Amino acid sequence: MKTRTLSLLLLLGVNIATASNMEYEINFVGMKMDYKEYGRSGTLLDSEKSAFSDILGSELKYRYFVEERSFVEASVLGVGGTTDYVGSLIGSGLGYGSYTSTTSNTVWDLALSYNRVNETMFPNINVLGGLGMGYRYWERELSSSQKELYTWYSLRARVGLLYTMQDVTFAFMGEYQYGIDPTMTASNISGDFKLGAADIIELSLPIHYRINEKFDLSCAYVWSRQKIRESNVVSGYYEPDSTAYNQYLKLGIVFKY
């Protein structure tokens, strides 16, 4: 089921890319991670942190304009890099900070949405609303023998304000992602951990500068909060509550056809 859904999203993205009345955007992405896991009593178990330069990648977006103010958007974001781990060894009985290491991370995010822009009573200010679906993939390699993979689908709703001033468009966007079937698998443990929830709130500040009818420059700052709820118990272990405050910096170019 997951493979079929992933393939469908990619196929729709390719179809949009080959259609007319479309935009193609490519961004260079830096990701800053601040991830923490908590025990049942609320104590801090471990954390992962990085700078923007530690996790890098790219983002591809395709937009097909159904009409002047309505468009379908497909996007694929992929980043990878390292975070600084602070925590403790499993079974050591020692507390937070007794063990430090480096974790390798790989994040993929796929999304497909329908969006519409509506005018307001204020000049140069428009409102955007959108609904869609997505797929999240996050792999953590804490060591050669310990890997964790988080995956889930999501329903996504977004709303935003757009302000255009000559050749520059500023926007403030908010998006809520409701996780469906969130799962974590861990090496050396048979069976999947069924997460209680995996939801994301995302705020972004994108800016587009119009060069001409064919090209825009784009940049964006994105802040997100990812909340994962405690899982079921598998082989005597469980995935604890966690919160990640992630930030993204994006810089790219838009090709218009």
* pLDDT above 90 as % of the chain: 82
From the options 3.30.9.90, 3.30.479.10, 2.40.128.100, 3.30.70.20, give the CATH code of 2-256: 2.40.128.100
Q: What predicted TM-score, i.e. pTM, was given to this entire model?
A: 0.90
Element (H, E) at 5: helix 2-17
Task: Concatenate the DSSP letters of all residues of 69-110 into one string.
Answer: TEEEEEEEEEEEEEEEEEE--TTS---TTSEEEEEEEEEEEE
**Segment 165-184 mean pLDDT:** 97
Q: Dump pLDDT digits (tens) for 21-59.
A: 899 999 999 999 999 999 999 999 999 999 999 999 999
Half-sphere exposure of residue 200, counting CA atoms within 13 Å on the CB side? 28
Residue of 146 and 108 predicted with greater confidence: 108
Q: Residue 9 pLDDT more than 70?
A: no
Q: Where are the domains of the chain?
A: 2-256
Pairing of the two strands 44-49 and 34-38: antiparallel
Q: Dump pLDDT digits (tens) for 196-243.
A: 999 999 999 999 999 999 999 999 999 999 999 999 999 999 999 999
